[in-house]
Amino acid sequence: MAYFAPNDFVPVAFDSGGVTTGPITVPFIMSLGLGVASVRGGKSAHDDSFGLVALCSVGPILSVLLLGLVYNSSGSYSDVVVNDVNNLSEAFNAFLYAFPKYFEEVALALAPIVIAFIFFQIIFLKLPKSQLIKTAVGVIYTYIGLVIFLTGVNVGFLPAGNYLGNALGALDNNWLLIPVGMIMGFFIVAAEPAVHVLNKQVEGVTGGAISKKSMLISLSLGVAVSIGIAMTRVLNGVSIWYFIVPGYAIALILTFFVTPIFTGIAFDSGGVASGPMTATFMLPFAMGAADAAGGNILTDAFGLVAMVAMTPLITIQVLGVVYNIKIKMNERVEEEIIEEAEIDSEIIDFEGGADSGGK
């Protein structure tokens, strides 16, 4: 389908797969997968509990490519307007003006989940009152937190990212976009709310074998590399296919060398890392840089989220390969210790038998 879609739609389609797995989708879908896998049971329950987030990223890519076949993709780019704020009162009013929009959007996003929970509570769950109170408080916290978060990133981060990218892209030494983008990409992962949910789930399911720290470092390195690639595309206009095809090929090859649980975690990590911080700061950063550098916004700037979603597939599975090597080394050491202990016991038995025979 990507072959027949307009070139302008291909990077946007790949980006849509990462953008749709945000702070609402990830916690709910991951918890749903873990719950279903635990009820089903079996040896592969934990292995199968991850991967749902990755599957949820496939549908938007196909639908946007299909949209490109139906609609005309030609158009013009309108610059992001950065409003001048002279004092604290004007800044407060700017956020206050945007609040109603995100109050409505978050309510529409949470409504189906709440309605489904109420339905299952009445028909099947029958949870006690104390648990219902905890759930209600959690929904209220989630609602208020998401409204504040989305208002902040859209009102503050989006124009700031675009302005910063435009300023760096207009420099004579605009190659600075690559190292600056990589540094921002390395640290911006820690600000993604869904990343911490994933890391906690992974550490819990694996019993601490895969720590939150190692997951965060792997994701940060992957995102840093992806932002560097994206900035290279912004400056040189290299087609996204030169990175997407080899990247996913490497990720698929690595699946043969890691356990299934690492594969599921890796493919989920791609969708989790490309969350609202990437979409509302790094993508506008790339758009501003592409505009200043004289590139094509649709083909050069878009695709950044797809890059961010791709590299964790490789870094997390490399972590899985290292983990498997450590497990095998530990098993080999344990076997050697057991063998040495058996040899020592045989020697002791032999010497004991010889002493008794001599007497």
132-148 pLDDT, tens digit per residue, is: 999 999 999 989 988 99
* DSSP secondary structure letters along 171-238: STTGGGHHHHHHHHHHHHGGG-HHHHHHHHHHHHHTTTSS-HHHHHHHHHHHHHHHHHHHHHHHHH--
Q: Which of 223, 240, 241, 225 minimizes the C-alpha distance to 295?
A: 240
Whole-model pTM: value is 0.77
Task: Give the DSSP letter of residue 87.
Answer: S
**Cα gap 245→222, rounded to integer Å:** 17
> Looking at the predicted structure, is the pLDDT value of residue 33 above 80?
no
Q: Which of 269, 284, 250 minimizes the C-alpha distance to 189?
A: 269
Residues of the chain with pLDDT > 70, as a percent, come to 88
**Cα gap 43→234, rounded to integer Å:** 46
Which one has a higher pLDDT value, 113 or 74?
A: 113
**Cα gap 158→153, rounded to integer Å:** 6
Q: Over the chain, what is the mean pLDDT?
A: 82
Q: Say if CB 225 and CB 182 are below 8 A apart.
A: yes
170-188 pLDDT, tens digit per residue, is: 888 889 999 999 999 998 8
Point out the least confidently predicted range of 60-74, 110-124, 304-318. 60-74
User: Which amino acid, residue 66?
Assistant: L
Question: What is the three-class DSSP state of 67?
Answer: helix
Q: Indicate the pLDDT class of residue 249, thresholds 50, 70 and 90.
A: very high
Q: Which of 312, 182, 186 minimizes the C-alpha distance to 254?
A: 312
Q: Indicate the pLDDT class of residue 56, thresholds 50, 70 and 90.
A: confident
Question: Would you state the pLDDT for residue 143?
Answer: 93
> Looking at the predicted structure, is the pLDDT value of residue 346 above 70?
no
Instruction: Find all residues with CB under 8 Å of 152, minimum gap 6, and list them.
Output: 95
> Looking at the predicted structure, is the pLDDT value of residue 356 above 60?
no
Q: Indicate the pLDDT class of residue 320, thresholds 50, 70 and 90.
A: confident
Point out the least confidently predicted range of 26-40, 164-178, 207-221, 266-280. 26-40
Domain ranges of the chain: 9-72+87-320
Question: Would you state the pLDDT for residue 49?
Answer: 65
Task: Give the DSSP letter of residue 85.
Answer: -
> Looking at the predicted structure, is the pLDDT value of residue 350 above 60?
no
Torsion of CA 185, 191, 195, 197, to 10 degrees: 180
Which whole number is the average pLDDT over 163-174? 89
Instruction: Find all residues with CB under 8 Å of 222, minimum gap 6, and list them.
Output: 269, 273, 308, 311, 312, 313, 314, 315, 316
Torsion of CA 106, 111, 112, 117, to 10 degrees: 120
> Looking at the predicted structure, is the pLDDT value of residue 82 above 80?
no
Question: Would you state the pLDDT for residue 355?
Answer: 55
Which whole number is the average pLDDT over 60-65? 85
Q: Is 51 left (phi over 0), alpha (psi -120 to 50) or beta?
A: left
Name the one residue in this structure whose structure tokens are 């921002």.
184
